[in-house]
Amino acid sequence: MTAESTPDFPASAALFERARAVSPGGVNSPVRAFRAVGGTPRFMASGTGPYLTDVDGTEYVDLVGSWGPMLLGHAHPEVIDAVQRAAAAGTSFGTPSEPEVLLAEEIVTRTPVDSVRLVSSGTEATMSAIRLARGCTGRDLVMKFAGCYHGHVDSLLVSAGSGVVTFGLPGTPGVPEASTAQTIVVPYNDTAAVEKAFAEYGDQIACVITEAAAGNMGAVPPLPGFNKFLSETCARNGALFISDEVMTGFRVSRSGHWGLDGAAEGWRPDLLTFGKVMGGGFPAAAFGGRDDLMSRLAPEGPVYQAGTLSGNPIATTAGYTTLRLATDAVYEQLDAVAGQVRTLASEALTEAGVPHVAQAAGNLFSIFFVDGTDTVTDFEQAQAQNVKQHKAFFHAMLDAGVYLPPSAFESWFVSAAHDDRAIERIAAALPAAARAAAA
């Protein structure tokens, strides 16, 4: 039975109907609507460890993890306990409180930032980091990479034009051309394009922002030395290097993707952005960096930035508790599970004769339904995917009780709670899904 023919999930279908009457598309974030894969989105009622259970009572092995935050799995008992105690003590004070200090200390200990400002979403983090970069340099232009997503900030919600180095085009109605005219878009992993942009506009570029490893076009790691090159090129040109670790931070290693490249290569970004894992499933994010830059922020400096719920005591308690539990053993488990699931998926697709690339950036990984290449290094290649194959694969996995990202352009997320039983269920679902993709 296909997802489109309904009946197995009447409660989800009924809720979707009601949701569509009161919310655009029935959702509060577009990808949740299943538009890329068709069918009815499942409304989830609960989550435990590696599993989600929908409102019809069907259990799924979850490979989305709330799009990254659920590093320890759902409803980790210690996180829930800490959150319940925090909530009982009051939900928001609008004053400083201890949990935000604990979370900031943990972030500063793990990453190359001297200090952080806490915010409520990754979008706010990147928007504020860009404002700070512009405020510090007195320059306006921002360079970003095609296929990298940094939240729905006007100036970053751009499409690339057809040239190698282009000024961005509004990625959506509602974004004025005046915003995107300040954004230069270049292909990911293309050092020559970066050099060309700096040669032309070097003295106007405030910052380069990149995902520390691209995860929003599927998982596309930076080529060896690419981030270091960006860091050095920015330094040479008086621009700031912003590494967006909203997705990779505290996930691909205890100190994020920087822990996999910068720490060993001896460089650090000027500013970094974080989100997802550091909120433990609550709205918390951050941007941070060198003291001389961060001290330019209000109230110490002139660059304004603020938030009613920034550093919220429940969100910061959830985040701090999650990070405290994210030990070296947790990262070993994540790496092992990610490797296992990626290999199993790739083997099943190979067995079924489906051309694909199974690619990883640390424990972030995805399957590209592409033919004729064994690696994907930029957005153009990622876009060459056979999305019909992804759609068939996705629905067969869903029918078998495995919840994958409902888009071909997303990374898969595992948690430290994915145990042998969860992996066996994924392994059991894969062969039929691979055959569905081949059909």
Contacts with ligand PLP, residue ranges (CB under 6 A): 67, 121-123, 126, 149-151, 211, 216, 244, 246-247, 275, 285
- Cβ distance to ligand PLP smaller for residue 132 or 247: 247
Q: Are strands 285-289 and 271-274 parallel, antiparallel or unpaired?
A: antiparallel
Query: Smallest distance from the beta carbon of 215 to ligand PLP, in angstroms?
Result: 6
Does residue 331 have an active-site annotation? no
- Cβ distance to ligand PLP smaller for residue 58 or 411: 411
Query: Smallest distance from the beta carbon of 342 to ligand PLP, in angstroms?
Result: 19
Query: Smallest distance from the beta carbon of 10 to ligand PLP, in angstroms?
Result: 31
Query: Smallest distance from the beta carbon of 114 to ligand PLP, in angstroms?
Result: 21
Any alpha helices (H) in 202-248, and if so which ranges? Answer: 226-237
Q: Which of 307, 252, 256, 253 is nearest to 283 (CA)?
A: 307
**Of the listed 51, 60, 149, 331, which one is catalytic?**
149
Half-sphere exposure of 198 (CA within 13 A, CB side): 21
Angle at Cα 239 formed by Cα 159 and Cα 301, nearest 5°?
105
**Of the listed 276, 331, 378, 403, which one is catalytic?**
276
- Cβ distance to ligand PLP smaller for residue 16 or 409: 409
Query: Smallest distance from the beta carbon of 168 to ligand PLP, in angstroms?
Result: 16
- Cβ distance to ligand PLP smaller for residue 73 or 122: 122
- Cβ distance to ligand PLP smaller for residue 166 or 411: 411
Q: What is the DSSP code string of 348-373?
A: HHHHTT---EEEEETTEEEEE--SS-
Q: Are strands 364-368 and 357-361 parallel, antiparallel or unpaired?
A: antiparallel
Distance CA 51, CA 279 (A): 20
Query: Smallest distance from the beta carbon of 65 to ligand PLP, in angstroms?
Result: 12
- Cβ distance to ligand PLP smaller for residue 214 or 400: 214
Q: Which of 88, 116, 120, 85 is nearest to 103 (CA)?
A: 116
| Six token digits for residue 207 | 């910052």
**Of the listed 244, 261, 270, 378, which one is catalytic?**
244
Comparing every residue's Cβ against ligand PLP, the nearest one is 122
How many beta carbons lie within 10 A of that of residue 215, not counting itself? 31
| Six token digits for residue 204 | 């106007």
**3 state SS of 347:** helix
| Six token digits for residue 415 | 């948690």
293: left (phi over 0), alpha (psi -120 to 50) or beta: alpha
Does residue 149 have an active-site annotation? yes
Please list the active-site residues.
Answer: 149, 244, 276
